[in-house]
């Protein structure tokens, strides 16, 4: 809720800082939350890199693909679904898919060790989210992720205005974008196959040598968004904060999701309350809202230990 209220344009939690009137930028928060803690941790540990294993085979076998087909389909659906929701992005899709795969796996303890189910879940959802983010971008002109927002700006520069009138003004444009995404996927696969054995040699370089380069890229990436020095003042404290939160066992993805969706949830909740004259009844009477609410409650309850213990006792008694 930091920044000016979207409905009444009233400044909230800005502490008198003019740069916070537009809210908290997502990119500096993402870079600070996921980049700075890694830099601090690597420089703190200064571990010597072990010799990477030799790669003899790159292409997965058909048996591996068949064994993980259900994980591929599930992760693809999660990626497309989350990508179609404006403002979330690929990172959240990867985290949600990874968490879902871990909870449904028979061997959750193997996640984080290079287990194939975890790799498939995160990477498939990450790639599928790109296609999903194009749905609101092309149909409504609303970007579904930060890269989609950049693509929206590029399209506007070329005189293309995504939205309901796109197919009337530019017939076949959506089909062309779909073909480009398909060809881009093939190109990524070809490049990945050609460079896999070469890129793995970078693992021989100690991570501590990469960290200064990563730090410079983090600074450039934050500053490049609007050419604002204030983004650096936002990124570095956020990185230090998330470093200590990580050490205390707090997960970082919920923090990032809150920053991304917080303003949207606030504005739309208040807008809905204005329409319903302050009544919360639509949450329980509207079918879509009720279904989503039940899914949230079920997800919360199913992940509590007390519920699982009670369910096990009921099954034993039966």
Band (306; pLDDT cuts 50, 70, 90): low
pLDDT at 187: 92
Per-domain boundaries in the chain: 53-204
Write down the pLDDT at residue 316: 67
Query: Mean per-residue pLDDT for 141-162?
Result: 73
Confidence class of residue 65 from pLDDT cuts 50, 70 and 90? confident
Mean pLDDT of 54-71: 75
Structure tokens at 36: 């700075």
Mean pLDDT for the chain overall: 79
Answer whether residue 20 shows pLDDT above 70. Answer: yes
Compute the distance between CA of residue 122 and CA of residue 108 in angstroms, rounded to an integer. Answer: 14
Query: Which residue has better confidence, 97 or 259?
Result: 97
Residues 26-44, mean pLDDT to the nearest whole number:
81
Question: pTM value?
Answer: 0.55
pLDDT tens, position by position, 179-224:
888 898 899 888 888 887 777 777 777 777 778 888 888 888 778 7
More confidently predicted of 152 and 132: 132
- Residue 71: φ, ψ to 5°: -70, -35
For residues 249-269, give the mean pLDDT. 77
Burial group, residue 214, by CB count within 10 angstroms (0-12, 13-18, 19+): middle
**How large is the average pLDDT for residues 126-130?**
84
The mean per-residue pLDDT over the stretch 10-23 comes to: 82
């Amino acid at each position: 809720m930091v920044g000016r209220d979207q409905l009444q344009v009233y400044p909230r939690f800005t502490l008198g800082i003019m740069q916070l009137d537009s809210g908290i930028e997502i990119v500096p928060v993402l870079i600070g939350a996921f980049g700075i803690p890694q830099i601090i941790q690597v420089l703190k540990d200064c571990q010597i890199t072990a010799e990477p294993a030799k790669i003899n085979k790159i292409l997965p076998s058909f048996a591996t693909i068949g064994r993980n087909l259900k994980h591929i389909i599930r992760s693809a659906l999660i990626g497309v679904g989350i990508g179609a929701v404006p403002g979330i992005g690929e990172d959240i899709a990867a985290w949600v898919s990874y968490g879902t795969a871990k909870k449904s796996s028979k061997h959750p303890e193997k996640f984080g060790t290079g287990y194939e189910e975890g790799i498939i879940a995160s990477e498939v959802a990450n790639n599928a989210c790109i296609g999903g983010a194009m749905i609101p971008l092309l149909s409504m002109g609303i970007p579904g992720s930060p890269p989609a927002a950049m693509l929206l700006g590029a399209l506007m520069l070329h005189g293309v205005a995504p939205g309901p009138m796109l197919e009337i003004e530019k017939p076949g444009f959506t089909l062309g974008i779909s073909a480009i995404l398909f060809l881009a996927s093939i190109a990524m696969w070809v490049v990945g196959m050609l460079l896999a054995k070469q890129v793995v040699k970078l693992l021989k370089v100690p991570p501590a040598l990469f960290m200064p380069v990563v730090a410079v890229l983090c600074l450039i990436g934050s500053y490049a968004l609007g050419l604002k020095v204030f983004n650096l003042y936002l990124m570095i404290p956020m990185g230090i904060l998330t470093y200590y939160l990580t050490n205390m066992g707090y997960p970082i993805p919920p923090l990032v999701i809150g920053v991304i969706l917080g303003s949207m949830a606030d504005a739309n909740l208040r807008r809905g309350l204005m329409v319903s004259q302050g009544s919360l009844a639509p949450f329980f009477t509207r079918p879509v809202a009720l279904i989503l609410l039940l899914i949230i409650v079920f997800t919360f309850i199913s992940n509590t230990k007390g519920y699982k213990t009670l369910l096990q006792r009921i099954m034993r008694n039966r």
